[in-house]
Amino acid sequence: MHYASVTNNLKNLGSEKWAVHLKARELIAAGSEVIELTIGEPDMPPEDDLIDECIRSMQAGRTKYSNGRGESNLLLKLKQKYVKVSNIPITEENILCFPGTQTALYATMRSLVEQGDEVIVGDPLYATYEGIIRASGATMVPVPLRREYNFILQAHDLEKAITPRTKVVLLNSPHNPTGSVMSKQDFLNIAKLFVQNDLWLVSDEVYEDLIFEGEFYSPLSNEKLAPRTVVVSSISKSHAAPGFRSGWAVGPREFCIKTLPLSETMLFGSQPFIADMTALALSRPSKVSIKMKIAYERRAKLICHNLQSVEHINPLMPNAGMFILIDIEKTNLTCSNFAWKLLNEQLVAVMPGDSFGHQARSFIRMSLTVPDKLLLKACNRISLFIKNLK
């Protein structure tokens, strides 16, 4: 039977990247005491009044069809959020609502590129980025985010990767999996290249509220970048609500006009009761993000303290987010072998670095979303695992 080319383009780019995580879930279901440190699933619940608002809204009859752009109350809150930082005027016509960042990214990429185009992405990269790009027919061009530059994209590396086929640069700050954060100066350093080459910047800002020290900076605030920037984000991380699937894209009015029919074709609107909850979430600072930020920084330091003296591995303290990278190159194991052996021998589930690109192949990624005592137990198991390697 005939299948569309997209099915081949996405071969091995779906759940295959999460094979260790899926196996860990199988073992847990079978009764094994696996410590799961694989995915970025907050271990704190959303604030109680957000759940209450969702229930209230459903009981009030907010369960009917929405529209392709988004509910008016949510559009208003998003406008108020981004008008404070944007260097271009922001109205409701600059916003599209989606079920989560992933859907927003998919629609954005499908609107900006197609077969024959190239999309530059910093490597390491979030595991689904390659699939999002290849689903559009475009080619992903990875550019190294170098450890010596704290995994920040450098202008000279970006410039070397740009060709006449380049249409988009996809950036993620705060960054998953490295936890790096781009500063105002970092964006200034690359802004000229976007103007000279007429490039779009797609900015994934889902970890905006989880910076340990310092301030978040969006390219929407940059005079040169703002007119060519599309921001995607959601409440999944900021409000510990990944299962609610509530996200958005913010960009130039023309982008939204052109992308809206695609959004309507895909979804024709999200759930009004979730929009109501999201509008409430955006109406004030997130209390749960403050708690998460404190907990994740403390847990990252706990891992560094307990693993930095373990022979052959080296934890890298992140600046933000809910993950930490561990350099395992000196173990002489591939990251995949390391992850599978650690799961099988010590019942600790981590992500192999090559799920996040070529530049991460000498790392494993550990989630910080388990209680401190369990994380300490995982560190002890990892220490024993390394000792047994000898």
> What's the pLDDT at 80?
97
pLDDT recorded at residue 61: 97
Query: Which pLDDT band, with edges at 50, 70 and 90, does 5 fall under?
Result: confident
pLDDT of residue 111: 98
Distance, CA of 230 to chain centre: 15
Q: How far, CA to CA in Å, does 364 sit from each of 258, 259, 313, 327, 360?
A: 40, 37, 10, 7, 8
- At residue 268, the pLDDT reads 85
Structure tokens at 201: 């910047």
Q: What are the backbone dihedrals phi and psi of residue 236, each rounded to the nearest 5 degrees, phi first?
A: -60, -45
pLDDT tens for each residue of 9-56 = 888 777 777 899 999 999 999 999 999 999 988 999 999 999 999 999
pLDDT above 90 coverage of the chain, percent: 93
Query: Mean of the pLDDT values across residues 297-319?
Result: 97
269 has a pLDDT exceeding 90: no
pLDDT at 7: 85
Q: Quick check: 299 pLDDT over 90?
A: yes
pLDDT tens digits along 63-94: 999 999 999 999 999 999 999 999 999 999 99
Asked if residues 193 and 148 have their Cβ atoms less than 8 Å apart, the reply is: no
The whole-angstrom separation of Cα 173 and Cα 200 is: 16
CA 102, chain centre distance (Å) = 9
Q: What is the reported pLDDT for 75?
A: 98
Task: Give the model confidence (pLDDT) of 230-265 as tens digits.
Answer: 999 999 999 999 999 999 999 999 999 999 999 999
Task: Collect contacts of 4-7 with beta carbons under 8 A, ≥24 apart.
Answer: 5/137, 6/135, 6/137
12: left (phi > 0), else alpha (psi -120 to 50), else beta? left
User: How many residues appear in the chain?
Assistant: 390
Which residues are bridge partners to 375 per DSSP? none
- CA end-to-end span of the chain: 52
Query: Do residues 231 and 205 lie in contact, with contact meaning Cβ atoms separated by under 8 Å?
Result: yes
Neighbours of 202 (CB within 10 A): 27
State the pLDDT confidence band at 379, using cuts at 50, 70 and 90.
Answer: very high
Provide the b/e sequence for 313-341 (b: ≥16 CB within 10 Å).
bebbebbbbbbbbbbbeebebbbbebbbe
Rounded average pLDDT over 321-339 = 97
Average pLDDT, the chain: 96
- Domains in the chain (CATH in brackets) are 5-45+287-389 (3.90.1150.10), 64-281 (3.40.640.10)
The pLDDT tens digits of the residues spanning 151-194 come to: 999 999 999 999 999 999 999 999 999 999 999 999 999 999 99
Rounded Cα–Cα distance for residues 165 and 163 (Å): 5
**What confidence score (pLDDT) does residue 10 get?**
84
What is the spatial distance between Cα 153 and Cα 226, in angstroms, rounded to a whole number? 18
